Amino acid sequence: MSETTPSRPSLVTFLHRKPAPAQPEPAAADVAAAEHATGEAAMTPADPPPTAGSDHEPTALDAPRNAPSFLRRSPATPSLRHTPRWQWAALAGLAMLLALQVVVADRARLAANADWRPLLGGLCGALRCTLPAWHQPDAFTMLQRDIRPLAGRQGVLQVQASFRNDARWAQAWPGLQLSLADADGRVIGRRTLQPGDYLGPAHDPQQRLEPGQSAQVSFLLREPSATTVAYTFEFR
């Protein structure tokens, strides 16, 4: 048996054959999806290194928006040197006014301090405010004292005393504490008399004893016991 040889296409047929259509290039989105699927990132050209003699060098201030927070440019803050002078003056005035109000409101306590008293005296003289009287009992000096039975009235003692204000400022009339003791030194009676008690109801509470001014008082006191032999005065 003889084999038949397949016929070859003629030259005319080969020349008339149409070329295969060109395949379209994949879109950029398809490339990115393919890279994400395969885990391979497209290589991008690196930034060219700075050339010698360049006037600009990359710093943290030139970091892009997506850079870490510590590389971003901080917002500009106003400088205290550019604050107008009138604002400083207004701030100082408000601070002084606040301090003045605090001092005036607390003047009753501060006036009891010998260091603050002169300042508050001048301040209240200008602002027409009042200060409580200076209170320093140990600055009163007893000049004379005398206690004796009142003639014709049994059990009644007549008390006379004179004292002087040796304080730096005027003081209100002091309280007088009178203690009576027997022959053994035991206290058998004690009473503190307020100015209204030894000066009478006509006494003005606003009356003051000026520095160096002397005063004399006289009043009656009922004797608690006939064994009284000693007495003492103290200022309160």
pLDDT at residue 50 is higher than 90:
no
| Tens digit of each residue's pLDDT (9 = 90 or more) over 119-150 | 888 888 888 888 889 999 999 999 999 988 89
Q: Give the domain-ending residue among 99, 127, 155.
A: 127
Residue 107's domain comprises: 85-127
- Hey, which bits of 150-229 come out as E strands? 156-165, 171-172, 176-181, 187-193, 208-209, 214-222
| Tens digit of each residue's pLDDT (9 = 90 or more) over 191-211 | 999 999 999 888 999 999 999
Is residue 146 included in any domain, yes or no?
yes
Is residue 227 included in any domain, yes or no?
yes
**Whether residue 216 sits in one domain with residue 167:** yes
Is residue 102 included in any domain, yes or no?
yes
In which residue are the tokens 């260091």 written? 115
Give me the residues paired with residue 217 across strands. Answer: 161
As for how many domains the chain has, the answer is 2
Asked if 212 and 160 touch (Cβ cutoff 8 Å), the reply is no
How many other CB atoms are found less than 10 A from the CB of residue 83? 11
**Whether residue 226 sits in one domain with residue 206:** yes
Q: Give the domain-ending residue among 71, 96, 127.
A: 127
pLDDT at residue 61 is higher than 70:
no
Residue type, 34: A
Rounded average pLDDT over 96-110: 77
Asked if 198 and 220 touch (Cβ cutoff 8 Å), the reply is no
In 3D space, the residue among 123, 66, 82 whose CA is nearest the CA of residue 99 turns out to be 123
Between helix 85-105 and helix 117-127 the angle, nearest 10°, is 110
What region, left, alpha or beta, does residue 185 occupy, with left being phi > 0 and alpha being psi -120 to 50 degrees?
Answer: left
Is residue 203 included in any domain, yes or no?
yes
Q: Give the domain-ending residue among 127, 151, 183.
A: 127
Is residue 67 included in any domain, yes or no?
no
pLDDT at residue 71 is higher than 70:
no
Is residue 206 included in any domain, yes or no?
yes
pLDDT of residue 78: 55
User: Of 67-76, 79-88, 168-177, which has the strongest mean pLDDT?
Assistant: 168-177
Rounded average pLDDT over 103-108: 78
**Whether residue 122 sits in one domain with residue 165:** no
Is residue 180 included in any domain, yes or no?
yes
What is the rounded CA–CA span in Å between residue 27 and residue 25?
6
* Structure tokens given for 181: 């003791």
**Whether residue 219 sits in one domain with residue 177:** yes
